[in-house]
């Protein structure tokens, strides 16, 4: 049986104090609820003496979060400890986390204190906290740049004063895995009373080593890891919760520990945080990034089709990610193209594969990603140069600020044989009005599911590229266009998508007729 690793989440304290990640009280409560559902053991909810807002947020979380420990941070002084104690009072299980800097740089430059003074302040702080709360954690800030003999003396003394968790912060992300493993091992062997306390890691990511260092600490016997969702935190961040949890879960034989985290809720937690702090999850982020379970290389796709374990060490569903994706692009090979066409309902005969792959590679060289509709068009023989079923001949859009008039679009479309169709529609906005007018004119029923415009050049006459995603007949289609007028670009993108729908359904019909089905 593996030992339990305590997950101490500091997203709402160390994470929230990083640039661009500030949360208001309601947002903190929402995130705290997500962390409870995720199954973290401890939520460090804030630094109550920092501001009234922080105090209120910690107290609100202590009141509402059940089944976990709620922790408040404090320096080793009376007013901080008092504020933390009051803030966590309503919690069924509360913790006060006191800290003081331990390294010579911090002692001399920041605190202007000697070793003896730091030691005395730490003992006093832990005693005061212990008088208010049974669960006290002590951190030696910048521990990885402190003298090891001082850490041993300091930690032995605070355990005697009542601390039950001993945290070893790599405050500036300075240490390396081997060094941190040795330090945790040394403390485990030499700190008096350590067998009655939990050793904890707290690693920052300045050199990109936060997770590796935390895991090295676990290998050396640490049984609490301090981390944040998505690794948000001061400067380059803290150790990412999802990476630690999935590392120990994927390699139990290596780490010999387990957590209480409900891993299928990891992806949802990362997305909740991302929307609260209004920062997208980077595409290449381990575990929760869009690319984490996406495969583009032909060799990898071939392996994945044969057996997922060839290129995936975790199952996406174990993290709550919707599923593995084989991204079709220029690196994809026959296996993936054939597989995707099969999923779309088209069985490729052996003699069709090579000619299709020649055309596929040609298309993939020009496009970043080949979508289902592109592949279907390719299979059905619709060439990009084919005459377009519809062309935008004229567009007039009116819109007004305030409730004075509804946005209206009048549109003129021309068919391939020169026939002209005019239509008009009102909508919730100009794009909605255009989409309705296009649907009426072409009589193609579709649902607009996504629309965005990006600037592709700079300056006052910048060109805008409009992208639309539609569904029609149960399939997804995309369209795009570029113009200096974003409304015109949007209308042309819609017509582009309609043309793909029409071309594919015409080709599908031709192919049914040819096969006599």
Interface contacts to ligand KIV, rule CB under 6 A: 14, 99, 139, 141, 167, 169, 171, 202, 204
Residues 80, 267: Cα–Cα separation, whole Å: 35
Strand, helix or coil for residue 262: coil
Residues 11-40 that bind Zn ion (CB under 5 A): 14
Minimum separation from the CB atom of position 44 to ligand KIV (A): 9
Region near Zn ion per CB under 5 A, out of 8-16, 303-311, 402-410, 442-450: 8-16
Which of 13/181 has CB closer to ligand KIV?
13
Minimum separation from the CB atom of position 293 to ligand KIV (A): 32
Q: How many CB atoms lie within 10 A of CB 258?
A: 15
Contact 341, 468 (CB under 8 A): no
Q: Which two tokens stand for residue 506?
A: 């015409």
Whether the CA torsion 58, 60, 61, 62 is positive or negative: it is positive
Kindly report the CA angle at 473 between 470 and 476, in degrees rounded to 5? Answer: 35
* Residue 79 DSSP class: H
Which of 145/475 has CB closer to ligand KIV?
145
Residues 181, 2: Cα–Cα separation, whole Å: 19
Helix-then-strand count for the chain, H and E? 18, 18
Kindly report the CA angle at 442 between 377 and 436, in degrees rounded to 5? Answer: 110
Report the partner that residue 141 touches, choosing among ligand KIV, Zn ion, none (CB closer than 5 to 8 A by kind). Answer: ligand KIV
Minimum separation from the CB atom of position 169 to ligand KIV (A): 3
Residues 444, 440: Cα–Cα separation, whole Å: 7
Residues 101, 417: Cα–Cα separation, whole Å: 79
Residues 186, 16: Cα–Cα separation, whole Å: 32
Minimum separation from the CB atom of position 139 to ligand KIV (A): 4
Minimum separation from the CB atom of position 85 to ligand KIV (A): 17
For β-strands 294-295 and 325-326, DSSP reports them as parallel
Contact 66, 36 (CB under 8 A): yes
Which of 14/54 has CB closer to Zn ion?
14
Minimum separation from the CB atom of position 276 to ligand KIV (A): 21
Which of 73/87 has CB closer to Zn ion?
73
Report the partner that residue 99 touches, choosing among Zn ion, ligand KIV, none (CB closer than 5 to 8 A by kind). Answer: ligand KIV
Minimum separation from the CB atom of position 150 to ligand KIV (A): 16
Which of 203/247 has CB closer to ligand KIV?
203
Task: Output helix, strand, coil percentages for the chain, rounded to the nearest 5.
Answer: 45, 20, 35
Minimum separation from the CB atom of position 173 to Zn ion (A): 9
Residues 119, 122: Cα–Cα separation, whole Å: 5
Residues 21, 238: Cα–Cα separation, whole Å: 13
Report the partner that residue 503 touches, choosing among Zn ion, ligand KIV, none (CB closer than 5 to 8 A by kind). Answer: none
Report the partner that residue 488 touches, choosing among ligand KIV, Zn ion, none (CB closer than 5 to 8 A by kind). Answer: none
Contact 373, 477 (CB under 8 A): yes
Which of 99/155 has CB closer to ligand KIV?
99
Minimum separation from the CB atom of position 202 to ligand KIV (A): 5
Contact 452, 460 (CB under 8 A): no
Which of 95/295 has CB closer to ligand KIV?
95
Which of 233/430 has CB closer to Zn ion?
233
Minimum separation from the CB atom of position 53 to ligand KIV (A): 19
Residues 323, 471: Cα–Cα separation, whole Å: 21
Which of 202/300 has CB closer to ligand KIV?
202
Contact 442, 427 (CB under 8 A): no
Residues 434, 393: Cα–Cα separation, whole Å: 13
Which of 126/364 has CB closer to ligand KIV?
126
Residues 455, 326: Cα–Cα separation, whole Å: 29
Report the partner that residue 242 touches, choosing among ligand KIV, Zn ion, none (CB closer than 5 to 8 A by kind). Answer: none
Tokens 């992208």 sit on residue? 467
Radius of gyration of the chain (CA): 30
Kindly report the CA angle at 288 between 342 and 46, in degrees rounded to 5? Answer: 160
Report the partner that residue 243 touches, choosing among ligand KIV, Zn ion, none (CB closer than 5 to 8 A by kind). Answer: none
Residue 41, interface with Zn ion (CB under 5 A)? no
Minimum separation from the CB atom of position 141 to Zn ion (A): 8
Minimum separation from the CB atom of position 138 to ligand KIV (A): 10
Residues 260-299 that bind Zn ion (CB under 5 A): none
Tokens 């968790």 sit on residue? 165
Which of 177/427 has CB closer to ligand KIV?
177
Which of 167/175 has CB closer to ligand KIV?
167
The footprint of Zn ion (CB under 5 A) covers 14
């Amino acid at each position: 049986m593996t030992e339990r690793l305590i997950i101490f989440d500091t997203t709402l304290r160390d994470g929230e104090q990083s640039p661009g990640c500030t949360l208001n009280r309601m947002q903190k409560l929402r995130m705290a609820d997500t962390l409870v559902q995720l199954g973290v053991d401890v939520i460090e909810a804030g630094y109550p003496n920092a501001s009234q807002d922080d105090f209120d947020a910690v107290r609100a979380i202590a009141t509402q979060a059940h089944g976990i420990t709620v922790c408040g941070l404090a320096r080793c002084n009376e007013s901080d400890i008092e504020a933390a104690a009051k803030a966590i009072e309503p919690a069924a299980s509360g913790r006060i986390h006191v800290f003081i800097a331990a390294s010579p740089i911090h002692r001399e430059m920041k605190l202007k204190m000697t070793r003896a003074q730091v030691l005395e302040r730490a003992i006093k702080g832990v005693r005061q906290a212990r008088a208010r709360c049974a669960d006290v954690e002590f951190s030696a800030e910048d521990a990885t740049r402190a003298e090891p003999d001082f850490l041993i003396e300091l930690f032995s003394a605070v355990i005697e004063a009542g601390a039950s968790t001993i945290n070893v912060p790599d405050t500036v992300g300075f240490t390396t895995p081997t060094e941190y493993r040795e330090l945790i091992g040394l403390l485990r062997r030499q700190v008096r009373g350590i067998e009655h306390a939990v050793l904890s890691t707290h690693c920052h990511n300045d050199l990109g080593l936060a997770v590796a260092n935390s895991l090295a600490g676990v290998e050396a016997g640490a049984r609490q890891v301090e981390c944040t969702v998505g690794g948000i935190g001061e400067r380059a961040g803290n150790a990412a919760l999802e990476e630690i949890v999935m590392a120990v879960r994927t390699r139990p034989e290596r780490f010999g520990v387990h957590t209480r985290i409900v891993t299928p809720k990891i992806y949802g937690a990362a997305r909740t945080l991302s929307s609260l702090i209004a920062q997208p999850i980077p595409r290449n982020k381990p575990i929760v990034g869009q690319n984490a379970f996406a495969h583009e290389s032909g060799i990898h796709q071939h392996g994945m089709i044969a057996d997922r374990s060839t290129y995936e060490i975790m199952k996406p569903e174990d993290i709550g990610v919707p599923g593995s994706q084989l991204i079709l692009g220029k690196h994809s090979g026959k296996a993936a193209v054939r597989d995707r066409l099969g999923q779309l309902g088209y069985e490729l005969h052996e003699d069709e594969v090579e000619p299709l792959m020649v055309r596929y590679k040609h298309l993939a060289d020009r496009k970043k990603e080949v979508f289902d509709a592109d592949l279907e068009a390719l299979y059905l023989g619709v060439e990009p140069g084919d005459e377009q079923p519809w062309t935008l001949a004229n567009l007039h859009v009116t819109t007004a600020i305030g409730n004075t008039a509804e946005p209206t679009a009048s549109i003129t479309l021309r068919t391939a044989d020169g026939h002209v169709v005019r239509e008009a529609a009102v909508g919730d906005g100009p794009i909605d009005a255009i989409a309705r007018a296009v649907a009426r004119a072409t009589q193609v029923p579709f649902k607009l599911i996504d629309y965005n415009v990006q600037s592709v050049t700079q300056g006052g006459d910048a060109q805008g590229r409009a992208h639309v995603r539609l569904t029609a007949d149960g399939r997804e289609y995309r369209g795009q266009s570029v113009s200096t007028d974003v409304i015109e670009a949007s209308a042309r993108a819609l017509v582009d998508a309609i043309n793909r729908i029409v071309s594919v359904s015409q080709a599908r019909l031709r192919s049914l007729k040819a096969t006599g089905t």
